[in-house]
Amino acid sequence: MKIAVLGAGAWGTALAIQAARAGREVVLWARDPCRAAEIAAARANARYLPDAALPAAVAVTADAAEALAGAALALLVVPVQALRAVVSALPLAAVPMLLCGKGVESGSLGLPLEVLSGLRPRLAAGVLSGPNFAHEVARGLPAAAVVAAADAALREAGVALLGSPGFRLYAGDDPVGAEVGGAAKNVIAIAAGAVIGAGLGENARAALVTRGLAELSRLAVALGGRAETAAGLTGLGDLVLTCAGPGSRNMSLGLALGRGERLADVLAARTGVTEGVATAPALVARAASVGVELPVCAAVADLVAERITVREATERLLARPLRAE
């Protein structure tokens, strides 16, 4: 069966490799025809995953209609801030879709499935989320993730089509909780990195990550998700991975900010998107709209807006009124 992978960044490339590993015919779509030709010729994505060879089962194209034709499932693997533009430009095709980007859209404050449903209201859709670094999935190292969707048939199809012995997939019926976890963990990882970069210690990072988990759980429930989802792969699991070390783009950005580097300079030196930067203010605004306070995420929003320093953010969090946990 054929799977279309729409988006040829690091994660899209890794998922194309994984889908081939699961025995599927795969078409990887890149928006830029020149990049599509380069990847097809080199049989590798030199820009994002240079050490990962594309299996023979993976074709590469810049034609979205070609990618979607005959596909049993499409994986949309683009940054959340580009999601609306990409979906609007895609051909109308009734191919079930799993969204693989994590964040909250600036402006609309929509989660990815909300953005997609506003554009394609009748399309069967869910999310693929979990604690996954692209380079490890591409290498075939053991990993797990969740296919979360309201549609049971889509959940089962996603697990069956993408799973393999080294890539364990679970079906989940709480896509809202999964999306909130994926968005919030990027923001909290910036805070975790900033704490370490500023030399504030591991105790501070552990406390911050734990309180961040409480924040994402509160927001998930307020938006219609379930608290227990926050304790699973798409919540705690993803949070632990993203806050654990500099292999995370969001964690490494926080490290740089904690050391006193300027945000613009850090971003200018990167090829990939650091989703937490745009997500932080959007996430805080979305939470405020449902009466949920996110102190850690709000501090990150102010930090990336350069309204406060890491030290000032720390002092603000420590000065909050005492309360029961």
User: Residues with catalytic annotation?
Assistant: 185
Task: Confirm if 68 and 36 have CB atoms less than 8 A apart.
Answer: no
Residue 100's closest CA among 119, 120, 80, 84? 80
Q: Return the structure tokens found at 13.
A: 């490339």
SS (H, E, C) 128-175: EECCCCHHHHHHCCCEEEEEECCCHHHHHHHHHHHCECCEEEEEECCH
Pull the structure tokens for residue 229: 């989802």
Q: What is the CA radius of gyration of the chain?
A: 19
Closest CA to 129 of 199, 194, 80: 80
Rounded-to-integer distance, Cα 134 and Cα 127, Å: 16
CB contact at 8 A, 75 and 14: no
**How far apart (Å, rounded) are the C-alpha atoms in residues 254 and 251?**
5
Give the CA count within 13 Å in the CB-facing half-sphere of 131: 20
Structure tokens at 248: 């995370």
CB 243 within 8 A of CB 255: no
254-264 residues labelled b (16+ CB within 10 A) or e (exposed): bbbbbeeeebe
Query: On the CB side of 108, how many CA atoms lie within 13 Å of its CA?
Result: 18
